[in-house]
Amino acid sequence: MRTLTILGSTGSIGCSTLDVVARHPQRFRVEALTARGRWQVLLEQVRRHRPRLAVLTEPAAASALRAALAAEGITTEVLAGEEGLGIAASLAGVDTVMAAIVGSAGLTPTLAAARAGKRILLANKEALVMSGRLLLEAVAASGAELLPIDSEHNAIFQCLPPGRPGVPARGVRRVWLTASGGPFLRVPAERLASVTPDEACAHPRWRMGRKISVDSATLMNKGLELIEAYLLFGLPHGAIEVVVHPESIVHSLVEYTDGSTLAQLGNPDMRTPIAHALAWPERIESGVESLDLVRQGALRFEAPDRTKFRCLALAEQAALAGGTAPAALNAANEVAVAAFLGGRLNFTAIATVIERVLERLAPADVAGLDEVLEADRHARALADGFVATAPGGPR
């Protein structure tokens, strides 16, 4: 029996995780669930899975959940605030932590899970992009495990021989990271300045939270994933290529020195990588339909357009610069995406804001978490300023 904490249980990945877990009551037991504010959704999940602990970071939401559970006689303990996330992530008696909070808010609890020696199922790519080697070192020091949930990284993991996170596999020539291209792949570049948040979140292939949906539309998601992949698989710079694959059936590929290229394929449904990592090294039913290759027909591949999607080029620069550059890139992106979703910035200005932040903030070496948090804080302050003044910025 595996025992689970799900950080971010009310989100897209959190709900897909609970869907897989519910198919295997003999195999998994949910011990802790966490979310930010949507207490009614969490209440429903607590009724169904009866964890020992539920955490809501918003205090008013936590009080509402506590009252509702008491009225039903459900004994799940409810904690409020960010400390609760760390407690859920390192809870004794839990062996597996799904890290599915979106953005930098997931960093501290994911590090707590690493230090506590858990098996971490990593969806929260921002935590790894920010902390870089620090998370990998915490995993190695405690004997924790790190299994990628991002579909591309899970695909690469499946195409590689067994190994440790961050340690390169032998005989790999390069890795092909596939990208759907997002909802604006065929939209003319001149139209991009006027696209709306709802258009940006209407992803043709995946149903996801709004932040990652915008990242997919700008191709920043692929940029963050590139940084994630360099770290997870210990690859030398230049060994990862991004290739646009609009059907999202081939989730990524690994090319070996002998000319063999291995790929992982499947319908675009996150329950496949989630089930893979939950049961690893075994295989379990996920609820995902079989792939019908004949009905699918053609699979297309093309080069990404870095002029139209500048965020990809900016992320590649940050990957090359190293040090605190990825943390600064991530922070500037979080600020710019929130401004776009809030109607305060146009779509093309997301890249402009990030570019200006990276120009101003020279990358520093990372000795510990302090440098990462300082780069995050500084980049956010700069980005806030640029959002207010970005050319063609506020709509």
Site for ligand NAD contains 150 (CB under 6 A): yes
How many angstroms separate the CA atoms of 129 and 259, rounded? 30
Q: Which of 20, 33, 192, 270 binds ligand NAD (CB under 6 A)?
A: 270
For 360, the token pair is 């101003």
Residues in the chain: 395
Among 3, 4, 5, 10, binds ligand NAD (CB under 6 A): 10
Among 297, 313, 317, CA closest to 305: 313
Nearer to ligand NAD by Cβ, of 66 and 205: the residue is 205
Q: Is there binding between residue 212 and ligand NAD (CB under 6 A)?
A: yes
Minimum distance of Mg ion from residue 228's CB (angstroms): 9
Beta carbon nearer to ligand NAD, 124 or 346: 124
Residues 107-146 vs Mg ion: string with x where CB under 5 A? Answer: ----------------------------------------
Three-state DSSP at 163 gives coil
Angstrom distance (rounded) from CA 272 to CA 10 = 19
Tell me how far apart the alpha carbons of residues 182 and 304 are, in angstroms, rounded to a whole number.
Answer: 11
Task: List alpha helices for 23-79, DSSP H.
Answer: 39-49, 59-72
Contact 131, 111 (CB under 8 A): yes
Tell which one of 32, 35, 53, 200 touches ligand NAD (CB under 6 A). 35
- Binding-residue pattern over the window 152 to 191 for Mg ion, x denoting contact by CB under 5 A: x---------------------------------------
User: Is 31 among the residues that bind Mg ion (CB under 5 A)?
Assistant: no
- Give how many residues touch Mg ion by CB under 5 A: 3
Q: How far is the CB of 258 from ligand NAD (least distance, A)?
A: 31
State which residue, 11 or 132, has the beta carbon closest to ligand NAD: 11
The partner in contact with residue 226, picked from ligand NAD, Mg ion, none with C-beta cut-offs of 5 to 8 angstroms by kind, is none
Q: Which is closer to ligand NAD, CB of 104 or CB of 348?
A: 104
Task: List the single partner that 105 binds among ligand NAD, Mg ion, none, CB under 5 to 8 Å by kind.
Answer: ligand NAD
The answer to the question of residue 12 lying near ligand NAD (CB under 6 A) is: yes
Q: Are strands 96-99 and 2-7 parallel, antiparallel or unpaired?
A: parallel
**Distance, CA of 42 to CA of 135 (rounded, Å):** 28
> Which residue bears the tokens 């949507």?
38
150 touches Mg ion (CB under 5 A): yes
For residue 108, the partner it binds in ligand NAD, Mg ion, none, with Cβ less than 5 to 8 A by kind, is none
> Which of 61, 69, 78, 102 is close enough to bind ligand NAD by CB under 6 A?
102
**Burial (0-12, 13-18, 19+ Cβ within 10 Å), 238:** exposed
Interaction between residue 100 and ligand NAD (CB under 6 A): yes
Distance CA 121, CA 21 (A): 14
Nearest to 315 by CA among 303, 331, 335: 331
Evaluated on CA atoms 236, 238, 239, 242, the torsion sign reads positive
**Count of Cβ atoms closer than 10 Å to residue 164 Cβ:** 12
Considering beta carbons, is residue 224 or 351 the nearer one to Mg ion? 224
CA dist., res. 33 & res. 328, Å (int)? 30
- Pairing relationship of beta strands 145-148 and 172-179 according to DSSP bridges: unpaired
Which residues does 21 contact at the CB level (< 8 Å), separation at least 6? Answer: 4, 28, 30, 49, 278
- Identity of the residue, 101 or 278, whose beta carbon is nearer to ligand NAD in the bound complex: 101
CB of 133 to ligand NAD, least distance (A): 19
Closer CB to Mg ion, residue 151 or residue 330?
151
Interface residues toward Mg ion, by CB under 5 A = 150-152
Interface residues toward ligand NAD, by CB under 6 A = 8-14, 35-36, 57, 100-102, 105, 123-126, 150, 206, 208-209, 212, 270
